[in-house]
Amino acid sequence: MMADHSNTPIHKMIEEKASKKGMANVTETLMPKFFLVCAIISILTTIGIVFTLVFETFTFFQDVSVVEFITSPDWYPMFQDPDFGIRPLLLGTFTIAFIAMCLAIPVGLASAIYLSEYASDKTRRTVKPVLEVLAGIPTIVYGFFALTFITPLLQTFIPGLAIYNALSPGIVMGIMIIPMVASLSEDAMSAVPQSMRQGAFALGATRLEVSLKVVLPAALSGVIASFVLAISRAVGETMIVTVAGGANPTADLDITSSMQTMTAYIVQMSLGDAGFGTTVYYSIYAVGMTLFIFTLAMNIIAHVISNRFREEY
């Protein structure tokens, strides 16, 4: 109901308008400053994290040769004569991530194609939120699911499979990443103009041909970006590999045996196995810096690919 100003003096109405305008001006002045402070805090936090990693990593390399860190095939930091070769942790990390992507990419992409090109609006509104529920499950739950369900199930088909192995966490990690691939790829394909589909149908193309030969190439930048971001997520995963992957840093690519990833090593040492100020303690930061470099590189690659293959409609 509109306010009745018929009996309100004109000067009162002017004062009310001026008061409201003054509050609006204050809000317009303060909010940009608040947003600027939030942006500065996020930037300073990032700088602080990078500075900490760089400083502590530099301390580590005062005791350990960079060449040894990169080229040595052994990682035994707790031995009396320790070895600090990052290669076993890298192999463990990327082996499990590769297993995860072998599952996540085809299933996630197929799910995205179905949601974008085959599902009705009602089905899409139902299936997509259910699929994305997988992304909301805590990773520690995925870890115990891998250890107590997937591993015993796999042992019925692979008798030599160890309790802690690379295969089980890789499969479960792939299940966890499916929503990321499916959601981002579906968003990219849904952004393709409907006119391109209609033109292909008018030329006699089937729905599958339209999906694979028209829509998918047109959405290639978003799809590839989703793959790279999913790989980055897999490389940085912690709890699944810590619980189900084991703690054996080995350069052996046997996926039926225990492996250790970079994140799992950081968790292990952070529990108190390494004394503060020791070389083993600073190795946590060296491994963290290596992980940071790889994830940063993959995010940059995703950004470059997205810009390189982006189509403007």
Residue 44 has pLDDT above 70, yes or no: yes
pLDDT at 103: 92
The residue type of 32 is P
The residue type of 304 is V
**Rounded CA Rg of the chain:** 27
For residue 167, what are the contacts with CB-CB under 8 A and spacing of at least 6? 99, 154, 158, 161, 255, 256
Residue 145 has pLDDT above 60, yes or no: yes
Residue 79 has pLDDT above 60, yes or no: yes
pLDDT at 132: 76
Q: What is the 3-state secondary structure (H, E, C) of 54-77?
A: HHHHHHHHCCCCHHHHHHCCCEEC
**Which tens digit of pLDDT belongs to each residue from 235-294?**
888 888 888 888 788 777 788 888 888 888 888 887 766 677 778 888 888 888 988 888
Structural domains of the chain ordered from first start: 80-308 (1.10.3720.10)
pTM, 2 dp: 0.81
Higher pLDDT, 226 or 22: 226
83 beta partners: 76
Q: Reduce the DSSP state of residue 269 to 3 states and report it.
A: helix
pLDDT at 107: 92
In whole angstroms, what is the distance from residue 176 CA to residue 108 CA? 10
